[in-house]
Each structure stands twice: as C-alpha cells, then as structure tokens.
Amino acid sequence: MSGHALPPAGLRGDGGGPALGPVRASGATVEAGTPAPARHTIAIQHVTHILQGGRRLGYDIEALLRRADISPALLASPSARVTQGQYAALIRTLRRVMRDELWGLLDRPVTPGVFAQVCRSLVDCATLEDAIRTGLRLYRQHIDAFAPRLHVAADGKTAAVVLHPRAPASACRSFAESTFVFHAYAVVSWLVAGQIPLTRVELSAAASPGRTDTERVFKTAVSYGQPVTALHFDAASLRLPVMQDAASLREFLRETPRNLLIRYRDNSCLAERIRQHLRSHLDGELPSLEQMAQRLRLTPQTLRRRLRDEGRGYQSIKDNLRRDVAIGMMERPGMTLQDVALRLGFSEPSTFHRAFKKWTGVAPGEYRMRGMRAENVPAA
C-alpha cells in the first residue's frame, strides 16, 4: 500500500503486524514444469514508498533491498514489479532491523508485538463495532502522529474510520496512514469472516503517476490528497458478530496476512475469477472476450460493463496475468527465457521480449540479470 494501499503478501506468523503474501523460502528450488502461481506482483513504486522511513533514518537502502532479494537497480525502472515474496521479505527485513511495525515512517516506533496484542483483544468482542472501537483505542496508545477513531453519522446510516492527524503533513505520515487503514480493513474482514463493502476511501497521500493497485484492493472509489484518511461504509455492518476466537486467532497470526485479502477480496470479484480461469490457458491462445463471456454465461456487453464497474479491462487482465507469471517464472534458474515465452503462449521469443519490456520497462534478460546481481551481492 503506498501512499496507496497494497495488495497483500504474507509474512511469517510472528505476530508482527503488517506484511504481505507468501515468502519464498531461501534457497528453495522449484521444478521447471511446475505451474507458476497467478499471484499479483507489486509495482516498484510501493517498494519506494515503504523505504521512506529507512531513508529518513539513514539506513543503507541497497543493503535492505539485497536482503529481500530485490535488485536496487529496479528502483530506476518505473514500470518494474516485484513478487509478493520479495515484498514480504522486505517488510520482514524492515521490521527486524528497525524494530518497528510501521518501518520507521513515524517518529515513535510501533513496537513489534502490538499488532498481535490488539488482535487478542478483538476476538473477545461481541460485535464489529465493539472490536473497531477497542482496536482503535489501543492503537491510539501507540501512535502519536494520528488518532484513529470510529464515527457514526447522526442518522445511524453511515460510519467511517477516520485518522485525525496530530503531526505535520509528510509523505511518511501519509504512507503510514494508508498502511494503517489497509491493515485495519483486512482485520475487520477477517473478524466477520467476510468482506465489508466500502462506499468510498479517502487518503491523505497524493496519487502516484500511472495506475496503482489501490482501487483493486478496496474495490471502491479512492480520493487522494484529502485532509484526512478515512474508510466509509454502511453502519449496518457494525452490528455484525465477531466470528473469530482464540483458536482461529492463533492460525491467523501464523498466516497473517498471507491469505487474508486473497480470501476476502480477490476471489469475490469478476476480474479475479477471470484471471484464475485464464491461468489454466496460458500456454496457448487465451480466450477472447466473447469466448470468456460465453463460459461465464454472460453477454459480451454485460461482461464489459461489469469489468468496467470494477475499473478493469479484459485485455489488461490478460496482460497483467502474463506479466505476473513471467516475473515469477524468471525467479526459477532452471527456466530459460525461451521456456518462459513458450509457457506463456508466445510463439516467438522476440514477441515475448517486446511484451515484457512494455510491461516492466526493461527486457526480460536485463530484468533477470538485475535480480541475479541482487542475489550475488552480500548483504550488509
């Protein structure tokens, strides 16, 4: 989540709070014939944003990136992407080095373990409203830069989690606020075992150039550069019962947040269903929009309209899937670039090269070499 929210990735379950997706085990090998998972990759801008605290505090940024198997050279490629595992490893590194669950973004660190402590209090609550008020009250004891509060409209119809700023505006504070509401939304969804529909999202952060993942994460309109950061939703959701207990919390903390938003966000939208279906057809010609509509028992017009409502396009879903799987496959030393091209349905390697450079800003060979340089340079 940058000045925008991020798609999830996981971190090992040490109760350390924010982290994204499954982490690739160090030194693990993957058979070349094993299909690459269709996990979303993460824009390099998010990597830049999450390093703001480290830069502010004078840490060696290149050393931090290398410990996460991310080539520092990728920061110079605006279209570059990293895997969820790389991003998760970076979060783990920042948390461990800085001893801060918000990665040096605020003047006062959030001590590792606070996230787990708050979650233990939430599962004892009866309703979602009780849980939200409890969680925000506890976090106000650990964060000075903003005060998170729940507001319910006078007519009782709408509600909002609002972060009231208590420190001067800065890029670091804005990113910390976006991070906070991203994870708050994730925890709320887990507590009620389902996604809470948002009516709108307001972020104090400025919008980044180009398309970000924020709308895909929140599935609603996002306004940037706002006076306060806030999540707005139907107040009826506050009456939902908390569905989790101490036993499910242990599992949650072990996995957090590897499968959280994948479970409660991605699988519920049409674009993600299409993406999963296309994943099984990558090695050949992908279905046309008309063919996909027929398989989903929709008219082409309805499919276009529903994707448009989600802010997506059919061609972009196909391109993004191929890009994400290509990046994942290139982490496998046993696969040549020609192998990757063929597995993605490109009849000519040159066509794959052109497509990959369009997706990421660099040719696939150069992209792989940058990653190899990151792995071969000893971490500081």
pLDDT of residue 266: 52
pLDDT of residue 220: 86
Burial class (CB in 10 A: 0-12, 13-18, 19+), 289: middle
Q: Are 125 and 233 contained in the same domain?
A: yes
Secondary structure of residue 213 in the 3-state scheme: coil
* Domain-located, residue 88: no
Instruction: Give me the amino acid identity at 348.
Output: E
Q: Are 272 and 369 contained in the same domain?
A: yes
* Residue finishing a domain among 190, 221, 239: 239
* Domain-located, residue 143: yes
Instruction: Print the domain residue range for 215.
Output: 114-239
302, containing H or E segment: helix 300-309
Q: What is the CATH number of the domain that holds 303?
A: 1.10.10.60
* Domain-located, residue 235: yes
d(CA 342, CA 349) in angstroms, rounded, equals 8
Backbone angles phi, psi at 34, to 5 degrees: -75, 130
List CB contacts of 257: < 8 A, sequence separation 6 or more: 8, 9, 10, 11, 18, 19, 20, 183, 186
* Domain-located, residue 20: no
Q: Are 173 and 274 contained in the same domain?
A: no
pLDDT of residue 87: 83
Q: Which residues of the chain have pLDDT under 50?
A: 1-36, 257, 260-261, 374, 377-380
Secondary structure of residue 241 in the 3-state scheme: strand
List CB contacts of 203: < 8 A, sequence separation 6 or more: 3, 4, 174, 177, 178, 181, 214, 222, 223, 224, 225, 226, 229
pLDDT of residue 163: 98
Instruction: Give me the amino acid identity at 293.
Output: A
* Domain-located, residue 316: yes
* Domain-located, residue 299: yes
Strand arrangement of the beta sheet that strand 158-165 belongs to? 146-152, 158-165, 229-234, 198-202, 222-223
Residues 316/338, Cβ–Cβ less than 8 Å: no
Q: Are 231 and 273 contained in the same domain?
A: no
pLDDT of residue 42: 82
Peptide bond into 112 cis (omega under 30): no
Residue pointed to by tokens 């999450």: 50
Q: Are 220 and 315 contained in the same domain?
A: no
* Domain-located, residue 193: yes
The structural domain count of the chain equals 2
d(CA 277, CA 287) in angstroms, rounded, equals 10
Q: Are 231 and 282 contained in the same domain?
A: no
* Domain-located, residue 62: no
* Residue finishing a domain among 221, 239, 257: 239
Q: Which of 73, 67, 105 is nearest to 87 (CA)?
A: 67
pTM of the predicted protein model: 0.73
43, containing H or E segment: strand 42-43
Q: Are 281 and 234 contained in the same domain?
A: no
- Residue 335 DSSP class: -
Q: Are 321 and 371 contained in the same domain?
A: yes
Q: Which of 217, 184, 186 is nearest to 43 (CA)?
A: 217
Q: Are 218 and 149 contained in the same domain?
A: yes
d(CA 194, CA 196) in angstroms, rounded, equals 7
Q: Are 224 and 323 contained in the same domain?
A: no
Q: Are 276 and 344 contained in the same domain?
A: yes
* Residue finishing a domain among 239, 257, 288: 239
pLDDT digits (tens, 9 = 90+) for 17-30: 433 222 233 333 33
